[in-house]
Chains A and B, each alone.
Chain A
Amino acid sequence: KNQVEQSPQSLIILEGKNCTLQCNYTVSPFSNLRWYKQDTGRGPVSLTIMTFSENTKSNGRYTATLDADTKQSSLHITASQLSDSASYICVVTTSDNYGQNFVFGPGTRLSVLP
């Protein structure tokens, strides 16, 4: 069964500190992996996309990595800000007989404290 797991479930850090969120997936076939940021009570927004051939990609203070061999991805946040407080969701795009399908992780809840 296709599955995406994320750790930790929740994380509290102080403003200015760095953190790393983890995503492990057992999804086949693999098309790409996206990290979404979801502010409380709002819809998720895509942060970055990782394809099979990419190892690292940065988007400002966010850096995502992908190890296709171990089926792991991470999202590293540098110099955290209060506005980084949100849930971060890992979503893997796969396919079935009908076309694309999306497998969601449960998310990591990040709280950045002043």
Chain B
Amino acid sequence: EAQVTQNPRYLITVTGKKLTVTCSQNMNHEYMSWYRQDPGLGLRQIYYSMNVEVTDKGDVPEGYKVSRKEKRNFPLILESPSPNQTSLYFCASSLTGRLVWGPNTGELFFGEGSRLTVL
């Protein structure tokens, strides 16, 4: 089954304790990205990756790191979590990040989300 898998789904941690949220996709997608979603706000992009070893900042990258060493994995790292990073996080992938015009481009496949609480 084609899917994007995130782990953990739920996590409660304390300020300053490093954590990693994993994301894996089995669709051989080039493009992967991370978003956070807070009450009353839409999805905001944290980081994205056009392909292996290519990553770039989104709209809200402060306090986060990512890596893309393999095509299927795109972990999100919080080196020193703070309470303002309490949020619902989503990983997503898309077939390609390259500009390809047409009706079948640009569909994002999302994971089930990871709810993070930082105390």
Contacts and interface: CB of A to CB of B under 8 A. Distances in A.
A45 B107 CA distance: 9
Given A98-B56, A104-B42, A91 B108 contact: yes
A94 B104 CA distance: 14
B80 interface: no
A41 B88 contact: yes
A interface bracket (residues with beta carbon within 8 Å of B)? 20 to 34
A99 B50 contact: yes
Nearest to B4: A43
B interface bracket (residues with beta carbon within 8 Å of A)? 20 to 34
B113 A49 contact: no
Main secondary structure of the interface of A (DSSP, over half): strand
Interface string A13-43: 0000000000000000001101010000111
Interface in B69-97: 88, 90, 92, 94, 96-97
A104 B107 contact: no
B26 to A, nearest CB: 15
B12 interface: no
Contact of A49 (B31, B98, B107): B107
Given A45-B110, A98-B97, A99-B98, A104 B43 contact: yes
Contact of B106 (A32, A43, A104): A32
A106 B42 contact: yes
A41 B107 contact: no
Contact of B108 (A42, A99, A102): A102
A31 B101 CA distance: 6
B2 interface: no
